[in-house]
Structures are given as C-alpha cells and as structure tokens.
Amino acid sequence: MQAATSDLLVINGGPGSGKTFVLAAIYEFMRTLNRSVALCAPTGRAARRMAESARSKASTIHRLLGFKPAGGDDEGGEEGALEGGFEFTADNPLPHDVLIVDEASMLDASLAHALLSAIKPGSALILVGDVDQLPPVGAGQPFADVVALSGKRQDLQLPVSNLAENFRQSAGSTIPALASAVNSGNFELVQGGMNTVEASALGQQPQRASSDVLWVKAAAEHEGGAPLTTREVVRFYLRKSLGFSPQDIMVLSPMKIRQAGTVALNDELRGELNDEGGNGIGYRRFQHTYCVGDRVIQLSNDPERNVFNGDIGYVTNIDDSAKEVTVRFEDSGCDEVERVHVYSDGGKRAGEDEAKPAKLEDLQPAWAMTIHKSQGSEFPCVLLVLLGDHRNMHVRKLLYTAITRAKEKLVIVYDTEHTIKESLKKSRGNEERISKLGELMEAKVD
C-alpha cells in the first residue's frame, strides 16, 4: 500500500469519488501499524467532518501547529499565516509519525511551507483534496501544482492518486453529474437536466423530491426578486415539503453585496430558519443584525479562545445594554470543553483575559454565506443563488465548488439560462495564477 511505503501521498478526487472512505481507511491502517497520526484541515468545519469520518480527533492546521498571532493580536487568515508564527517549526517539529490533511486544495504557499517545515524527519504526509475546487485565498496553489505536474510528467512517477470513479452517481445521485458537466463547461448537458420550477408555483403545490437537484426561476425584481424566491424555496420546499432542519440548510451566493448577496439573504432568511428568535429584533451593527438563535461564522483566528476562521456557532444570548453577543460554537472535532464566548461591540479588545469579550466584528451571520467561505464544508442541503448581478464572479470553479458542497439536496435559484451559459464559458477568472512551483519541482527532479 502506497500510504505505508511513501513519505508523501497526494489523493485527488471529486465529490463521491471515495476520498472520505480512503482517508478513514488510511487512518485505521496507520493505527494498526502503531504510528502516531494527526488529522487536520484548513478550516474548523472541514476538521469536524474529518473527525466524524475517521472517528477520531481532528483540528485545524493553525491549531495543530500552535498558531501565535503577531503582536498579541488574535488575527490570522483562513489558510495562510503571513502574520504571526507557530509553536511547531523545523526547530521544534510535530511529534507525529503521519500527518493527514483534508481539503488540501485550500492550502496556500505560506501555510503549506509552515506545515512542511514542522514535519519531523522520517514522518509521512498525506494530502487529500479536489483540484477542481477554488484555489486558495492566499498566494500559490501547491496541491494543484503537484497534481498538474504528475499528469504532465508521468515518467516522474509522483505519488499522486487520482480517484476517478464516482460512487454517489452510481447510487443515483445527480449532484456529481451536474458538477462534472459544470467543470467541463458543457452547457447542453447542464441544460438537459434543468427541471425548472417557477417561483410562483412553490407555494401553490408541494414539490416532489424526484431528483436531488432542483432549478428554480427567480421572481422578477419588482416582485421581490431572488431574496423572496429564496425565502419561498426554504419555507415551502426545503422545510415544509422535504422536512430539512435549519441546521441542515446552507444558502450560498457569490458575493456579499447586491440584491442576492449574503447580507440581504441573511436578513431575508432569518424568519424562515431561526426558530428561536428570528423575528428581526436583535442587536444591529452596521449592516448585520444578530438575534438569539442565529447561525454565525467566525472571521478570524482567535487561538486564545480556541476559535478559528470558519468556525460555525449559534447566538445564545444578547445583552443590548452591554452591546454583547454570546455564541456557542459547534464541536470542532477536537474540543475538550464546550466553546462559549462573549463578543462585544465596545471597541478594541482589552487584554488577553478570557473574561474579556472578543470583537463583534469577528462575527458574521451565516444562514447565507459566500461560496468562498463555504469551501471546506459540506451540508445536507445547499441552496445556490446565481444571478446576472454577480456575473463578474461566475467562473466554473466557483460554481463547481458551490455544487459540491451539497450532500443530499441542491436547489439552484437563477434568473436566466444566459447567466448559466455565460458562467460555464469562463474556465478561469480572478483565480488564475502562476506560482512556478511546478517548474521548480520539475527542475529539481530532472
């Protein structure tokens, strides 16, 4: 088995290709060899999924490496570590024999370098990811570069395994088939599967779950537009007809702004998804409103509180007079104690004492989130909003990433087929980058 004999293994595959099964099998195999194994991923949500599949503890990469913010300020990017440093380095390597990294396509050059530097001599590194997803937010794309070089120079016999078979599709799921059609830019194939329902019909008759993908034509803007359509999909279809719980539903949009951006959608969806207090009465800070029961997302790394960029939580209390919001975060996969923290709108954080509140600006409502922010996560049900308003953001990788977040049900709210067609024409956009890593690796082995 290659995982047992190589000090590096790269596993690349799309949705339903068996990455999760292979990851769990490798972990169990390494454990039978009495090797110390660390499981990690770029985001808290991805680490949680990894822990569930392997039935063991997992952590974010920042947490594993012991992230130390620069200047004592608890800031840090979702993937990179351009500011601050780590406890574990080349001079103080990690004690583990094997490191398994899920969602490795999210690793930028900076974080990849930090991780590689912290591996002790003789240890093995296993990277698992999907090269067709969005590239890292930070500079570089090491996972994609290694996979590309293995295809270009097969004579090098790089330790890259591409999982091609789709097990979900053979089991009847159409989500992987749609993802594949989008990834190849095949509009005719996508169009052939567009079982479109008019928004006006959603409240008139129950919609049968005949397919795990449903297309919904957004109402005209003067009739409420995409926000109203999205709310009706959630109310009549996802909740009433299919019985999804609010925790299982995630609404995705390419951008924060405009009529179908996440800011507008979060306000529109609160009444449909917040069963505890989503009546719009809460604490408002600038464009965001926070209510008891709201789902929120952490926007920065805060190692002092054991909360990291991308962690999801729920508002449990609001003290309007003190301008404070209390949040209970989901189990990240390696928590020893429950993570409950107070966020304050009182200005700069005072001191490092845990009793001092974190900054409210580090939180954002998360009934809807951007596609970029969802990377590394999976949800039972995804509702994707695609409008011409966001056409500059529409590229294949963005749509592919959004589609592959859905495990059981995908609903796409769109305005025109032209929007979809034009999106599939753009194989590259702002994500295009030249890292030179592939060329450097090729020169190194020649």
Whose tokens are 């574990």? That residue is 88
Distances 419 to 77, 126, 206, 397, 411 between C-alpha atoms, Å = 32, 39, 27, 15, 16
The Cα–Cα gap between 254 and 150 comes to 31
Whose tokens are 């589609």? That residue is 403
pLDDT at position 305 over 60: yes
- Look at residues 410, 443, 380, 437 and name the one whose alpha carbon lies nearest to residue 211: 410
**DSSP code for 334:** S
44-53, 321-330, 336-345, 393-402: which range is least confident on average? 336-345
One-letter amino acid at 379 equals F
Indicate the helix (H) or strand (E) that contains 380.
strand 379-386
Crossing angle between the packed helical segments 225-232 and 262-273, to the nearest 10 degrees? 30
Three-class secondary structure of residue 171 per DSSP: coil
Cβ proximity of 331 and 319 under 8 Å: no
Cβ proximity of 27 and 39 under 8 Å: yes
Domains annotated for the chain, with CATH where assigned, are 2-167 (3.40.50.300), 172-425 (3.40.50.300)
pLDDT score of 80: 45
CA dihedral 265, 271, 273, 276 (to 10 degrees): 140
Cβ proximity of 105 and 144 under 8 Å: yes
pLDDT score of 247: 94
pTM of the predicted protein model: 0.86
Crossing angle between the packed helical segments 142-152 and 437-445, to the nearest 10 degrees? 50
The pLDDT tens digits of the residues spanning 244-288 come to: 999 999 999 999 988 889 999 998 999 899 988 655 567 888 788
- Look at residues 69, 120, 71, 66 and name the one whose alpha carbon lies nearest to residue 91: 120
The average pLDDT across 13-26 equals 90
Find the DSSP H helices in 55-200: 61-65, 109-117, 142-152, 167-170, 175-184, 187-192
The pLDDT tens digits of the residues spanning 144-197 come to: 999 998 887 877 778 899 998 777 655 678 898 899 999 999 999 999 888 888
Cβ proximity of 333 and 59 under 8 Å: yes
The average pLDDT across 226-234 equals 90
What is the maximum alpha-carbon separation in the chain? 67
What values do phi and psi take at 63, rounded to 5?
Answer: -70, -40
Specify burial of residue 395 (Cβ count, 10 A radius: 0-12, 13-18, 19+).
buried
Three-class secondary structure of residue 401 per DSSP: helix
